[in-house]
Amino acid sequence: MRKRSKRQIFEKVSVIDAGAKGKTIAKAPDGRVIFLSNAVPGDIVDVQTTKKRKAYFEGTAIHFHERSKKRTEAECEHFGVCGGCKWQHMAYEHQLYYKQREVENNLIRIGGLELPSIAPILGSKKQYFYRNKMEFSFSNSRWLTLDEINSEEEISAKNALGFHIPGMWDKILDVKKCHLQADPSNAIRLAVKSFSEAHGFQFFNPRSQDGLLRTLMIRTSSIGEIMVIVQFYDDNKEQREKLLGHLKNKFPDITSIQYIINQKQNDSIYDQEVICFSGRDHIFEQMEGLHFKINAKSFYQTNSEQAYELYKITRDFAGLTGNELVYDLYTGTGTIAQFVAKKAKKVVGIESVPEAISDAKSNASLNQIENTFFAVGDMKNVFTDDFIAEHGTPDVIITDPPRDGMHKLVVEQLLKVMPEKIVYVSCNSATQARDLALMKDHYVVEKVQPVDMFPQTHHVENVVLLQKRSSF
């Protein structure tokens, strides 16, 4: 072991496992864990530490003595800098292995659950170009590579349209080609950048809070519809209409071109007016004959094809016969609620975001679904005894909460209601396991199905079927 200032170098360390948040794990000579950002299990590396904590280190592999057989070549030229696809250098079969194992470990270690045989993780047919929504940021002072910084050449091209460097709110990587969203996404982004530079439009500076161009969002659907939303900081009508008119002419297949004037500190759009420049103010997605209207602020699963698989699993786990009253907690825009409605007597959806419930009602009307009801409000305040007395005691509850899981009061209410079945869809198996642990005395885990919605990342969805114990 050598020391370099406050950082340490550990030589010929074996990378032994994959950990949380896309990190991999090695062990220091003193037994402490080292979390690595650029290695694959099976690598043998020299590690330079970047952080030292009482129980662990964080570090970077600076020399590879032996490369793991689990490695593969990353597709994207931005891999390792962008931070968006941290597992591109791991072969997909091994990505799936570690995702499955994470689900199993969380359910057992955090949940203390007795599990049935867990179904093999459902991989994604598309491992690249699977996302239907991408958001890019403009910057007039792009992120420079080490080679550029060390070069004696003057850097003249300073504009960027791409992604935030992880952990750096004001640093944007200029993206040449992104492998997450299918064409014409890259072509649209590059056209916006080149036209804006050719006409001298000012890219945003987040520190000084000035510039014309702030963010670009591109949404697509499986039926070929495209939405483009440009967020401007300066309200310059002439420049705005030049850019948007160029997009309209160059890409006549774009269904919806919209814009936002946002002069607040952050670039979130949910409290902003979205103005339609050309076409519709929405696009449509289709799933099993159902149509879903998606606007600029709508939530919709970002991997459309895998969302269909996820919803089929959810419906199969619910085992509906047509006679059940179903509650769909955290219903979002009501996609699951409407997807299961034809096999249920009635579906009641609850969601905290008013715009999402408005979309859910609109989509139910669009699809001529008459056996759904949607309520808006904080889950712990809406899902109450009075609400159940008014709308009926559910036979089946489907819950698909955000990453933080369910509030403990919501879990307590579930245990008061005690439906025959609970189908728990989760994007975070750790918080899912925590919630399931609170219900394990009353429910048995019947089925577990992990689903990979996000290839090249460490994220994994999981669906669990709970059956009420016979003693209750």
Q: For the stretch 113-123, what's the b/e string if a residue is b when 16 or more beta carbons lie within 10 angstroms of its beta carbon? A: bebeebeebbb
Residue 259 to residue 233: CA distance in whole angstroms: 11
By the 8 A CB rule, do 283 and 219 touch?
A: yes
Is 427 considered catalytic here?
yes
Alpha helices in 58-217 (DSSP H): 92-105, 146-150, 185-198
Best CA proximity match to 425, nearest among 450, 397, 396, 462: 462
**Between vectors from CA 202 to CA 196 and to CA 207, what angle results, nearest 5°?**
140
Residue 280 to residue 196: CA distance in whole angstroms: 24
Query: Which residues fall within 8 angstroms of residue 34, CB to CB, at 6 or more apart?
Result: 10, 13, 25, 26, 27, 28, 47, 49, 56, 57, 58, 59
What the block records as the tokens of 335 is 């996609």
Residue 139 to residue 255: CA distance in whole angstroms: 27
Q: What is the 3-state secondary structure (H, E, C) of 348-384?
A: EEEECCHHHHHHHHHHHHHCCCCCEEEEECCHHHHCC
What the block records as the tokens of 129 is 């170009």
DSSP state of 57: E
Taking the CB of residue 109, how many other CB atoms lie within 10 A of it? 11
What the block records as the tokens of 82 is 């962008």
Residue 256 to residue 225: CA distance in whole angstroms: 8
Which among 76, 82, 178, 427 is annotated as catalytic? 427
Q: Looking up tokens 């270690």, which residue turns up?
A: 109
DSSP state of 21: G
Best CA proximity match to 348, nearest among 367, 330, 374, 369: 374
137: enclosing H helix or E strand: strand 133-139
Q: For the stretch 59-89, what's the b/e string if a residue is b when 16 or more beta carbons lie within 10 angstroms of its beta carbon? A: bbbeebeeebebbbebebebbebbbbbbbbb
For residue 195, what are the CA distances in angstroms to 187, 191, 326? 12, 6, 51
DSSP state of 80: T
Which residues are registered as beta bridge partners of 346? 325
- Which residues belong to the active site? 427
